[in-house]
Structure 1
Amino acid sequence: MERIKFYSLIKIFLVCFLFSFAVSAQTNKPLFKDSLKLISSQFKFTEGASVDKKGNVFFSDQPSNTIWKYSVDGNLSLFTDKSGRANGTYFDKKGNLLACADENFQILSFDRNGISKSIYKNPKENDLNGPNDLWIDKKGGIYFTDPYYQRNYWTRKTPAIVGEKVYYIPNKEESPIKIVEEGLEKPNGIVGTPDGKLLYVADAKAGKIYQYSIQPNGTLTNKVLLINQGSDGMTLDEKGNIYLTGNGVTIFNKEGVQIEHINVSKTRTSNLCFAGKNRNILFITAGSSIYILPMLVKGVE
């Protein structure tokens, strides 16, 4: 009887060990094996990368007031030369490209032909700082960040409103815009999980990434400091890993532990998304340039 108990304990130990080893091996599995490839350096300042259902990437060249398309077959083409100084972009379920357009403090929606209409414009009582980045939830509600960045063409010298915040536009509601979080120094990048349960917000000035729980009415609770590093644009892969921009691309797991870094020379990175028919190509914007990197994981956008 004692011998049976002993062998049972050994068996349990081996099962636990092998399970732990398998989990560790999966966690440490490489995310990429190829080298970064430069696609073009013809732009002024690239931003706002997002992918459509076919895997084509659309990205903004903000100073030039343009949005470009990088297709799955590797071709570059101009999508629109009237972007409203688009920054962050994101596709809705109908295939429209939504863009944070800070020229007139708007969120614009572009159809497949590049024709735009205003989804939201600044409050009547005063201007926004300038919509910067956005994410759309499963209901069609829009979260967007509104940091203040001084632009040369602006006549105002100070912000027209107090605070730099995150806003939420409920689906099919033009007003009011609901403030969902205060106390951020300069919210910039924003992205949510596919299940609609978590929202990540980058505080560019504080150098922090915060995690929030999304409530059924769109409000945010349970603020958690997840990563002590800021970011501009952000994206997620199928394993829940979080990709941050700035000094190259730094990858953290969903517990906030750094697991990888992609070096991008010459300039700071600004935005990124997973592209291609299989969503396994990391597309990166960085200053005047755009890059791609084949990945061993897929994106979730």
Structure 2
Amino acid sequence: MSCFEILDPAFGRFVLGNAALKQLATGFDWVEGPVWFGDAGCLLFSDIPNDKILRYTPGVGISTYRAPSNYSNGHTRDRQGRLVSCEHGTRRVTRTELDGSITVIADSYQGKSLNSPNDVVVKSDGSIWFTDPHYGIGSNYEGFAADQELPCNVYRIDPDGTIEAVLTDFNCPNGLAFSPDETLLYVADTGRMYQDDPAHIRRFSMESGRPKSLGIFHTIAPGKGDGIRCDMDGNLWSSAGDGVHCIAPDGHLMGKILVPEKVSNICFGGRAKHQLYITATTSLYAITLNRVGAQTP
């Protein structure tokens, strides 16, 4: 049985009929935040409820990278190759320096504690962009239940450390990704906990370093768009309730990779950034594609 659903013939060129969806590891509680370290030949990802950052090394398997992890969620790498992490438990964004020490990049805004930083990307100018929904403080499952002090915003941190709320009209911003040329920013809004909010992916044009709304780009169904990534041709790949969806730059759904668990997040990796790593509820999956991811090594 094929793991692909082709809705646009062009998607047939993106997938390889003899490349199977592989379950690389399972038995976790809720996995998130995959990031590929090409120079180390490994993938890092979070098991949030178990307070761990795990490492998957092809040919070796799973090991623990950091425990406790302060209930880390999303991760990325900066232009110097350092790990940048969103931590629910400490309500902060951190950077792991090359010597292993940890630097706090942001934990508050205008004197108030952040909610629970969720996902993060680094732009080529060195600015760090992250989403701050309230999911990690809504219960004790993915962190610590706490009062919400700030709206659920998207923030930009300049290289000099200045932090700014650049998008303030979201219910709960979640995954985010820049287009390959960084002229567009995509942000998934998954809605507030216990509320029946609309859920969709919005698109913004980047003008003088600031995002300008271009409206709703795409609505995922079934499920919601959580983690998102672009490939080098500007197609957007998104988590969904039935797997991973590939969305063309004009917003139409091209096809799906069907996954037997609810997908939380994705990233491209492997020797040519042609493998898609998928975190899905209790398991880590991977599939080889005829695509190349738009991200740092």
- Scaled to the shorter chain, the TM-score interval is 0.7 to 0.9
Aligned twin of 1:15: none
- Are 2:62 and 1:68 aligned? no
- Are 2:195 and 1:207 aligned? no
The one-letter amino acid of 1:45's match is: W
- Equivalent position to 1:147, from 133, 137, 142: 133
Higher-Rg structure is 1
Tell me: CA distance 1:261–1:25, structure 2 relative to 1, closer, same or farther (3 Å). Answer: closer
Aligned twin of 2:195: none
Aligned twin of 2:122: 136
Q: Deviations over 1:101-152 (max 9, x none)?
A: 1211111112356542212222362211111001110011011111112022
Aligned twin of 1:240: 234
Q: Does structure 2 retain, via aligned residues, the 8 Å contact 1:132–1:145? A: yes
Q: Deviations over 1:175-195 (max 9, x none)?
A: 3x2111121111100111232
Mean Cα displacement is larger for which, 245-254 or 46-55?
46-55
The one-letter amino acid of 1:252's match is: I
Aligned twin of 1:166: 154
Q: Which has the higher helix share?
A: 1
The one-letter amino acid of 1:223's match is: L
Tell me: CA distance 1:138–1:220, structure 2 relative to 1, closer, same or farther (3 Å). Answer: same
Alignment of 1:1-301 (within 5 A): 29-33=13-17, 34-54=19-39, 55-112=41-98, 114-123=100-109, 125-149=111-135, 150-152=138-140, 154-156=144-146, 158-161=147-150, 163-171=151-159, 173-175=160-162, 177-205=163-191, 206-216=198-208, 218-229=209-220, 230-247=224-241, 248-265=243-260, 267-301=261-295
Q: Does structure 1 retain, via aligned residues, the 8 Å contact 2:79–2:122? A: no
SS in 2 for 1:43: coil
SS in 1 for 2:277: strand
The one-letter amino acid of 2:215's match is: V
Aligned twin of 1:13: none
Q: Does structure 2 retain, via aligned residues, the 8 Å contact 1:72–1:276? A: no
The one-letter amino acid of 1:183's match is: D
Q: Does structure 1 retain, via aligned residues, the 8 Å contact 2:235–2:246? A: yes
* CA distance in structure 2 between the aligned counterparts of 1:112 and 1:36, rounded to whole angstroms: 33
Aligned length: 272
Q: Does structure 1 retain, via aligned residues, the 8 Å contact 2:89–2:144? A: no
The one-letter amino acid of 2:218's match is: I
Aligned twin of 2:5: none
Q: Does structure 2 retain, via aligned residues, the 8 Å contact 1:190–1:202? A: yes
Q: Deviations over 1:203-252 (max 9, x none)?
A: 11221111111223x32113321102231111111221111113111111
The one-letter amino acid of 1:182's match is: T
Unaligned runs of 5+ in 1: 1-23
Q: Deviations over 1:10-67 (max 9, x none)?
A: xxxxxxxxxxxxxx97665242322211111132211001112335211111112211
Tell me: CA distance 1:26–1:41, structure 2 relative to 1, closer, same or farther (3 Å). Answer: closer
The one-letter amino acid of 2:219's match is: N
Q: Does structure 2 retain, via aligned residues, the 8 Å contact 1:72–1:277? A: no
Q: Which has the higher strand share?
A: 2
TM-score by length of 1: 0.84
The one-letter amino acid of 1:151's match is: S
The one-letter amino acid of 1:240's match is: G
* CA distance in structure 1 between the aligned counterparts of 2:22 and 2:54, rounded to whole angstroms: 18
Mean Cα displacement is larger for which, 71-80 or 229-238?
71-80
SS in 1 for 2:80: coil
SS in 1 for 2:185: strand
* CA distance in structure 2 between the aligned counterparts of 1:114 and 1:62, rounded to whole angstroms: 21
SS in 2 for 1:64: coil
Aligned twin of 2:194: none
